[in-house]
Structure 1
Amino acid sequence: MDPNAGKYHRQFASEFKAVAKALDGRGGTLEWSQHDYQAFTYSEPGVSLVFYPHRGPSSRMQWIRVRNSNSKAQAAMSEVLELIYSRTRIRKRGYN
């Protein structure tokens, strides 16, 4: 069980705002998550993404990563991820 579930809004508020700004106008829904080890989620028709906290193995620093959550529209998902990667500091797994 994640002791921080539902409490990530303080720690990752700037990342949430950056994603909201990057995806403004797409008509999707960005919301804080109450689930274990999830900071927030984004969804639009055919696209579902989870933003989760990640801690490096040799540091105490924590940052946000994004992963696909069973998106059906791969082209739309690629567009959304490109917007996120180009307009925020959030990266996919393997690039942080």
Structure 2
Amino acid sequence: MNDPDAGKYHKRFASEFKAAAKALSGRGGELQWSTHDWQCFTYREPGVSLVFYPHRGPSSRLQWLRVRNQGSKSAEAMREVIAILAEKASIHTRKSRH
């Protein structure tokens, strides 16, 4: 199923993008808006690759942002970035079995 909002998340999640950019500013990574289906933006630094995506609960019309690992090679660096995002930008990961 195609995402009708692909490439159009700039307005809806602008404050989250700014918060993530501010929180991660000293790490030397790259935060970019995405044009892919079901992706708002991505973050990459050596060893870390994350994707930020819209999420809606099963009984909610509200939509919020989540972040997930996208093939990061350094688990330690990824956990550091995730912790920074949770603490300083209020962006949380999805629960996974990894």
The TM-score bracket by the shorter chain reads: over 0.9
Instruction: Name the counterpart of 1:39.
Output: 40
Q: What is the Cα-based RMSD across aligned positions, in Å?
A: 0.7
Q: Tell me the CA shift for residue 84 of structure 1.
A: 0.4
Q: Does 1:23 align with 2:46?
A: no
Runs of 4+ in 1 over 2 A off after TM superposition: none
Q: Tell me the CA shift for residue 89 of structure 1.
A: 1.7
Give, in whole Å, the separation in 1 of the partners of 2:90 and 2:28: 22
Q: Please give the TM-score of this superposition, normalised by the length of structure 2.
A: 0.93
Give, in whole Å, the separation in 1 of the partners of 2:75 and 2:90: 22
Counterpart residue identity of residue 15, structure 1? E
Q: Percent identity between the aligned chains?
A: 66
Q: Which runs of 5+ in 2 are unaligned?
A: none
Q: Does 1:5 align with 2:6?
A: yes
Superposition pairs of residues 77-92 of structure 1, within 5 angstroms: 77-92=78-93
SS at match of 2:6: coil
Q: Tell me the CA shift for residue 82 of structure 1.
A: 0.7
Q: Deviations over 1:25-53 (max 9, x none)?
A: 10000000000000000000110000000
Q: Please give the TM-score of this superposition, normalised by the length of structure 1.
A: 0.95
Q: Tell me the CA shift for residue 68 of structure 1.
A: 0.1
Give, in whole Å, the separation in 1 of the partners of 2:59 and 2:75: 34
Give, in whole Å, the separation in 2 of the partners of 1:54 and 1:69: 16
Counterpart residue identity of residue 40, structure 2? A
Instruction: Name the counterpart of 1:62.
Output: 63
